[in-house]
């Protein structure tokens, strides 16, 4: 099997090939490294490639398998966004202000290794993940494999480019305002932001307070479910933890849901943003497919609350807390220094007020699911055995993922904080609300636009209900498969 075929198989199939002895972990890792060497110079997906360490880890996985060991990710190369600690490497957060390697893996990385994964390298991101464009003064532009003149989105753009181009089968990202879903949409991938607290942020108690989550970008829904089964669960010190899932997400994906009530709306949650017509058409076409699959799909007009007062203090406070750990603060980008000046206006007490405000806003936003008289936790349990369709609200909400087509690279050139924020609004107009509320939400591929770049829609679920999001995404994947699509730079 050629390198490209191996890398485009995805992690579930790669793990099966290793488990059955058809491919070794070393063969997989060498294939990944060769493709990185061949294609990454034109993409800039990786901040650092851990070639020697990865090969040694792959050899250890092969030896473990020969001794009878197993694991859901045994021998599978996976990349990690550069805000997550990898033992022995510098965690740069996308900048140049850190210099000292960390001693231990982040909890999410530790769980990947415990499941048998091989950590192949760390991927690029904008400084502290502030922007939905993967560009930084320290590491340059990350380019979209579908058109290298265009952005990957962000902030997990390096992870998205690496998976979309078949450099790895999956990569970890983080999502504090759309940073898994936005690059997934730009690069034609599946990207689920999990329920707040589903995946541990240890060694940090939180990621941007209540906003941030950790999770993978993958080619298929099954791969995402497999990785979340590995990653899920709290750790000591986590500030938030999700309600335990009632079933394995891999098992949920294999279970067809009953008839669901799905609302669809092209209305952005950010005022002043108008969605691109092709994104609206992609949403409506997806609604048609969902009706054909037997679901009750209806146009709705969600009463989105304005979450600025909750989001902005947590955003600024999150950047401040990460920047405080930097060794060379004088090397922070000009935009970041401007963010930190604004952050001084929001002391810790104001950030904690914003967290509580977000909880109140979540009650209002979740009325689309729970009905007007219910709080966000009071609707029926959902999942493969829950009897979907009961209760007073929707089971899922369908929207576009982003409002505009992926821009040309260089979006942040010369832009200060305010300009960067204004340029970011069309990218976060459908995603950031659900970081404030904590709901699971996924970007699902929906064909390609007239510019040749991917289209996507967002599925938002009830709180703590990743299972239903994954089930319906799997139905869409079966109805209009996307995983075999390969971008020109692949």
List, by residue number, the catalytic residues. 81, 155, 179
Q: Which of 222, 157, 162 is nearest to 192 (CA)?
A: 222
Packing angle of the helix pair 277-292, 466-479 (nearest 10 deg): 90
Query: Which residues are registered as beta bridge partners of 400?
Result: 457
Q: What angle do CA 209, 214, 219 make, to 5 degrees?
A: 150
Q: Which of 115, 163, 138 is nearest to 485 (CA)?
A: 163
| Cβ atoms 386, 380 nearer than 8 A | yes
Q: What is the phi-psi region of residue 44: left when phi exceeds 0, alpha when psi lies from -120 to 50, beta otherwise?
A: left
- 10 Å Cβ neighbour count for 310? 27
What's the rounded Cα separation, in Å, for the pair 343 and 358? 18
User: What distance, in Å, lies between the first and last C-alpha atoms of the chain?
Assistant: 16
Q: Work out whether strand 140-141 and strand 135-136 pair parallel, antiparallel, or are unpaired.
A: antiparallel
Q: What is the phi-psi region of residue 8: left when phi exceeds 0, alpha when psi lies from -120 to 50, beta otherwise?
A: alpha
Segment (H or E) for 258? none
| Phi, psi angle pair for 411, to nearest 5° | -55, -35
| Cβ atoms 304, 365 nearer than 8 A | yes
What's the rounded Cα separation, in Å, for the pair 138 and 127? 9
| Cβ atoms 458, 431 nearer than 8 A | yes
């Amino acid at each position: 099997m050629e390198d490209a075929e191996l890398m485009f198989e995805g992690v579930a199939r790669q793990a099966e090939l290793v488990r059955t002895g058809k491919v070794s972990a070393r063969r997989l890792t060498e294939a990944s490294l060769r493709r990185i060497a061949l294609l990454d110079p034109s993409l800039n997906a990786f901040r650092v490639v851990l070639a020697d360490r990865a090969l040694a880890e792959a050899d250890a996985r092969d030896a473990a398998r020969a001794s009878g060991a197993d694991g859901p990710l045994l021998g599978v190369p996976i990349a990690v966004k550069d805000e997550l600690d990898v033992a022995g490497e510098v965690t740069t957060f996308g900048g140049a202000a850190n210099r000292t390697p960390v001693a231990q893996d982040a909890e999410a990385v530790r769980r990947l290794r415990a499941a048998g994964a091989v950590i192949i390298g760390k991927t690029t991101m904008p400084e502290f993940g502030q922007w939905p464009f993967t560009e930084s003064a320290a590491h340059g532009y990350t380019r979209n494999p579908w058109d290298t003149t265009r952005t990957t989105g962000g902030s997990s753009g390096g992870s998205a480019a690496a998976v979309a181009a078949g450099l790895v089968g999956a990569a970890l990202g983080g999502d504090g305002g759309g940073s898994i879903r936005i690059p997934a949409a730009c690069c034609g991938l599946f990207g689920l932001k999990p329920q707040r607290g589903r995946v541990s942020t240890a060694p940090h108690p939180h990621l941007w307070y209540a906003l941030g989550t950790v999770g993978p970008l993958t080619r298929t829904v099954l791969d995402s479910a497999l990785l979340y089964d590995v990653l899920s669960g709290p750790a000591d010190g986590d500030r938030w933890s999700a309600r335990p899932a009632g079933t394995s997400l891999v098992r949920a994906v294999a279970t067809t849901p009953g008839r669901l009530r799905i609302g669809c709306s092209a209305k952005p949650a950010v005022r002043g943003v108008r969605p691109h017509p092709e994104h609206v058409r992609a949403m409506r076409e997806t609604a048609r497919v969902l009706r054909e699959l037997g679901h009750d799909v209806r146009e709705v007009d969600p009463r989105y609350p304005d979450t600025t007062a909750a989001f902005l203090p947590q955003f600024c406070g999150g950047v401040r807390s990460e920047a405080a750990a930097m060794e060379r603060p004088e090397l922070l980008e000009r935009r970041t220094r401007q963010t930190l000046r604004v952050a001084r206006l929001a002391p810790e007490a104001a950030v904690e007020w914003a967290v509580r405000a977000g909880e109140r806003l979540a009650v209002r936003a979740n009325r689309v699911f729970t009905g007007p008289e219910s709080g966000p936790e009071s609707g029926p349990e959902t999942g493969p055995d829950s009897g979907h369709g009961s209760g007073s609200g929707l089971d899922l909400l369908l929207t576009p993922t982003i409002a505009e087509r992926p821009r040309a690279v260089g979006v942040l050139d010369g832009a200060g904080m305010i300009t960067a924020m204004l340029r970011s609004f069309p990218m976060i107009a459908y995603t950031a609300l659900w970081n404030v509320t904590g709901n699971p939400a996924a970007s699902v591929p929906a064909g390609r636009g007239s510019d040749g770049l991917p289209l996507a829609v967002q599925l938002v679920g009830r709180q703590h209900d990743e299972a239903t999001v994954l089930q319906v995404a799997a139905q869409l994947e079966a109805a209009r498969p996307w995983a075999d699509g390969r971008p020109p730079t692949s």
